Amino acid sequence: MLCPTVLGLLLACAVSLSSSAVILDNGMPILWAQTAGQVTDLPIQNGILTPDPWNFLQRMSLYRLMIAATDPFMGSMGTNATDGPLWGLPLQLAWMVTSGRLADPTGATTCGLQTGDTMCISTQSWWSCVSYFVSALPFLSAAQQGFMGPGVQVQMQVPEGVTDYCTTYTDCMASYPDAMSKWDAFFQGLKSATESPLPENEKKDSLLGLYWAAQMASTYASATCNPKQGHYSSSEKSFANSWLNSAEYVAAAHFQSNLGNSVMFITPLPSRVLQEGDSAPNIADLSQEENHTLSVFSWMSSINSLLGGTLVRMWKGAMCSVTTREKGREMLGQLLLNPGYATNTFLTIVTGMSSSC
């Protein structure tokens, strides 16, 4: 399907630049052109689709197929083919692979390393485990809702001896009913939106609400991945948890995670796995933007912990209307992308906004 050296070159490029991770190739998520363009390009056994989500190209293919199948229903998102919210997920996967986060963190295998199979996604990686919940689960739901064609059945491949991942719609619905039900609601909502009499901006806000409800339900379900955090440094674990915490803000604001917006927010994420002793904003081999992002994530997470979860609750309370969510998205952009934006300004505005709802 692909000469693995292509990803090796991208990984080497990301490392040698020692700045932001490479997530785009010709304006698309990396290796997009090598992924499955149609459902029948995926492995099929006895009439059942059997994708291998532990192969990078096949996990990326799940996104390409979902985006293609849902694009006709995304009119309220904008006029471009890259305006739908699902685009954030393949870009996130691209960042995970080029920053080395899908590789085996235990060192027991060369899975995902330049010295091994660069297409391999490790079942031991916490990041690849969390990503499974926002790739395999929505794909199984999309197929169940008819987006992959009438009567298409899917069973995810799983490496021998690995038992902690659900592989079919029925299996995942039994293990993670909330996540699967919310993905079903999102895909059903896309179909019904085409007939909805709501103004386009309200329709868009409503669909983004369904999308983020599903993504967050998958994220909560991925708590089952937590034991795998033990394979990482305390700096990486702390970043991983603050990355999860940041999703609460983005989700509540109904962030439109289209290709353009997602690139802006994902590019400044750390381009390598953090090691013991890495402390932002003073990590020498990371860019100023990466150090800034790490500092902001850490601040948001620690303030929320100090306030006993109050900051997230206040933020969610403030995101109570189409208008306040719009303002919220603007504030998040300022906080994460503008180093001159004061964190106390953010706190003051959130406090004021939450009291006006």
| pLDDT value of position 50 | 98
Asked if residue 328 lies in contact with residue 248, where contact means CB atoms within 8 angstroms, the answer is: no
CA distance 271 to 294: 11
Reading phi first (left if > 0) and then psi (alpha if -120 to 50, else beta), residue 30 is in beta
Residue 194 is predicted with a pLDDT of: 86
- Residue 183 confidence (pLDDT): 98
Give the pLDDT score at 13.
44
Cα 195 to chain centroid, rounded: 29
Give the model's pLDDT for residue 1.
Answer: 39
Residue 46: per-residue pLDDT: 96
Q: What is the chain's length?
A: 357
CA distance 208 to 249: 14
CB 58 within 8 Å of CB 49: no
Rounded distance between C-alpha atoms, residue 131 and residue 103, angstroms: 13
Q: Which two tokens stand for residue 8?
A: 């090796």
Do you find a cis peptide bond into 51, omega within 30 degrees of 0? no
All structural domains of the chain with their residue ranges: 20-232, 239-275+283-357
Query: How much of the chain is in helix, strand and coil states, percent to nearest 5?
Result: 60, 5, 40
Task: List Cβ neighbours of 99 (8 Å cut-off, separation of 6 or more).
Answer: 14, 21, 269, 270, 271, 272, 273
pLDDT of 345: 81
Say which residue the tokens 């895909």 belong to: 187
pLDDT of residue 350: 83
The residues facing 28 across adjacent strands are 25
Structure confidence at residue 89 (pLDDT): 98
pLDDT along the chain (357 residues), means of 10: 48 48 92 97 97 98 98 94 97 97 96 93 98 98 97 96 95 98 98 90 94 98 97 97 94 96 94 96 94 93 88 92 91 86 80 76
Closest residue by Cα to residue 245 from 216, 279, 274: 216
